[in-house]
Structure 1
């Protein structure tokens, strides 16, 4: 077999929608963008959605629109995709890394307050792998210390916390639609917020700093080319119409993995149910047992690759990256540093078959059991 790590789920309906845009005369800033933004805002339950070129662009614009800049600090997990910290640095602010919870792999609220300083302006809460963060605790800390909250939902569309979609809790939130996400636009992202002024500012910032009331070549603020094409938005509209079926299928894939892997020697499976939380399955990430080292994990990933099984090593801690040497963690992050050396993302996509899942699981279990016996 040759099983990819991820694969977009594109049907004829998506292809026809993109072709229809190509046959039109409107390829950017058109009706499909407006339709997609409306679909997202309605799904999340907020009044404003602004489509942008990527999730990273959305995070950057949130940081800028909220006035976070030099001398400011933002609390963020180190166990996350690097864009979360990059967006903070784009505006000259400082990412302050905190540790994660062992079960959910999300930012540990108990570690947030000890990381606060007079310079702290915001908490960037990442819903890691589609698992909702503990928003009650995070929002309580933010209220007591008058902090802004940005939700990084780039891996979590459709996830829920206490019956409410993630992305509807903070001052703003960002979703992303890279091809490995639950739904895709090829590239692209969206910022959602309840704040009309913030939405207006982000619409201007994504389009070279031009407000909708401005003349054609009038630019009131420094902006960016963070626009998203009509083709991408057309693709996204059809994907959004299928989102409930897509989320259900991905949950079924996760449960099939769980059925095959729970109780197996050397393999720790992620939780499939959490109190008051609905997981949106972005990836299926197992961890190897505590006796395994990074070299063991890497050898297993390499062996799986030789068997035609593509895997990912999510995530290398941001504070350990060469680009972040000057932002080394100010305190120890033992959970992050321990778990990140033992995590393996298994092939996960809508159309993976039961036989492919069984092949992945049998190969993984064999390698993990063999490695355990050798320890």
Structure 2
């Protein structure tokens, strides 16, 4: 088989995307211009939210949501450990407590059963409880189960849909199930702005405060260098907004191509546990394609398989390392054995090369060598 070089991800950038960015460069208006507003309007309309506030990253979006909700040291954020670290870090930005919830092994989203155990315990503490609801790898959470718990325990939902732009739960776009949601546009996402993110909400107060906080605390209509709040430089620049606006206009085509790529992997991979899309998902917007090696696979065996793939020119990575076992959270008292499903699943996950324009030849090359690696090391 001819040797190929297959990257883990690759953004789809078209001639039209380039033309938009060049046009903005030539305009001389590189920040807080018309494309920022256009991009926000398109995102809000697409997901079905009243407001969208574009910012410098998905992390910034999540942080601003917590700030707008007055999250503080008196509050606690429940968050899955099987996620990108920012999902938890934003609580530490505001000195709040972080409590990790385990995942269920099929979708790798948070486990509602374990969530209820935590909610029952936290109800006795008297603290405000927030849930960081992560739609992992683009797969929506079982929102009916989460809402049933919300009615019983009265917590606030922030939706981390940074990996899930376009996914739907029973016909409704993710990002709209909590009081506010966030999307991210790093180059490996469905659409990219280079770096960037956006928060979406139906709450006017959250939207207005987020717009002020992203711009050093300057409210709309404020005078030059008038700052009503202690804010941040979380602005999205005009070049990024223009690229995002150009890309989101073809988001449905992008999602369809990624869906076809996922189906091709599903049809040609063997000896691994394949991703499962639940019946309640009416639209799946694939972010990455993560397989699980057979049960009993050790971390050392998984790493050997990844190293073999890399040697063949195939970029593959483990996805994710548990957040609760990262140094900052170990220092807060978290350790092995506290989230058994997360820890067991995390040591045998492998993210395969996946992007909008991945070819059949590239996917067959990946499948061939993954099978060889499993034969060698398992």
Q: How does 1:83-162 map to 2 (within 5 A)?
A: 83-116=86-119, 117=122, 118-162=126-170
Secondary structure in structure 1 of the residue aligned to 2:36: helix
Distance 1:120 1:332 in 2: 23
Q: Give the Cα–Cα distance (whole angstroms) in 2 for the partners of residues 172 and 325 of structure 1.
A: 29
Q: Is structure 2 residue 305 aligned with structure 1 residue 297?
A: no
- 2:16 corresponds to which residue? 13
Q: 1:352 aligns with which of 345, 354, 358?
A: 358
The answer to whether structure 1 residue 48 and structure 2 residue 36 are counterparts is no
Task: Give the C-alpha shift of residue 122 in structure 1.
Answer: 0.6
Q: Distance in 2 between matches of 1:222 and 1:136?
A: 38
After superposing the two structures, state which structure 1 stretch, 331-340 or 280-289, moved more. Answer: 331-340
Give the drift of 1:96: 0.5
How far is the alpha carbon of 1:291 from its aligned partner? 2.0
Tell me if the contact between 1:61 and 1:202 (Cα under 8 Å) persists in the aligned partners. Answer: yes
Greater Cα shift, 47-56 or 23-32 = 23-32
Taking the aligned partners of 1:172 and 1:79, their CA distance within structure 2 comes to 21
Aligned residues: 369
- How far, CA to CA, are the matches of 1:328 and 1:137 in structure 2? 29
Residue from 266, 273, 277 that aligns with 1:268: 273
Cα offset, 1:143, TM superposition: 3.0
Partners of 2:86 and 2:264 lie apart in 1 by 31
- The answer on 1:324 being equivalent to 2:332 is no
Q: What displacement does 1:109 show?
A: 1.0
1-structure distance, mates of 2:216, 2:19:
31
Alignment match, 1:223: 231
Corresponding residue number in structure 2 for 1:188: 196
Task: Give the structure 1 partner of residue 31 of structure 2.
Answer: 28
Q: Which residue of 2 is the match for residue 245 of structure 1? A: 253
Partner SS for 1:314: coil
Measured after TM superposition, the shift of residue 228 of structure 1 is: 0.6
Aligned pair partner of 1:315 in 298, 320, 328: 320
| CA displacement at 1:327 relative to structure 2 | 3.2
Give the drift of 1:210: 0.8
* Alpha-carbon distance change, 120 to 327 in structure 1, aligned in 2, over 3 angstroms: farther
In the TM superposition, residue 26 of structure 1 has moved relative to its aligned partner by 1.5
Taking the aligned partners of 2:46 and 2:151, their CA distance within structure 1 comes to 26
How far apart are residue 274 of structure 1 and its match?
3.2
Task: Note the alpha carbon deviations across 1:202-238, whole angstroms, 9 max, x for none.
Answer: 0000000110132111111110000011110110011
SS of residue in 2 equivalent to 1:23:
helix
Q: Which residue of 2 aligns with 1:163?
A: 171
- CA drift at 1:2: 0.9
Matching residue of 2:222: 214
Distance in 2 of aligned mates of 1:120 and 1:368: 47
Is 1:259 paired with 2:267? yes
**CA positional deviation for 1:169:** 1.0
Gaps of 5+ in 2: none
Q: Per the alignment, in what secondary structure is the counterpart of residue 300 of structure 1?
A: helix
Q: Paired residue for 2:66, among 35, 60, 63?
A: 63
Does the CA contact (< 8 Å) of 1:273 and 1:279 recur in 2? no
Secondary structure of the residue aligned to 1:252 is helix
* Residue 341 (structure 2) pairs with residue 335 (structure 1): yes
Once the two structures are overlaid, the 10-residue window that deviates more, 307-316 or 132-141, is 132-141
Q: CA RMSD in A?
A: 1.3
| 1:76 equivalent in alignment to 2:84 | no
Q: Distance in 2 between matches of 1:8 and 1:78?
A: 27
Determine helix, strand or coil for the equivalent of 2:351.
Answer: strand
**Cα distance, 1:370 vs structure 2:** 3.0
- Give the Cα–Cα distance (whole angstroms) in 1 for the partners of residues 78 and 10 of structure 2: 32
Runs of 5+ in structure 1 lacking a partner? none
Q: TM-score, normalised by structure 1?
A: 0.96
Higher deviation after alignment, 25-34 or 313-322:
25-34
User: 2:100, 2:300 → 1: CA distance?
Assistant: 25
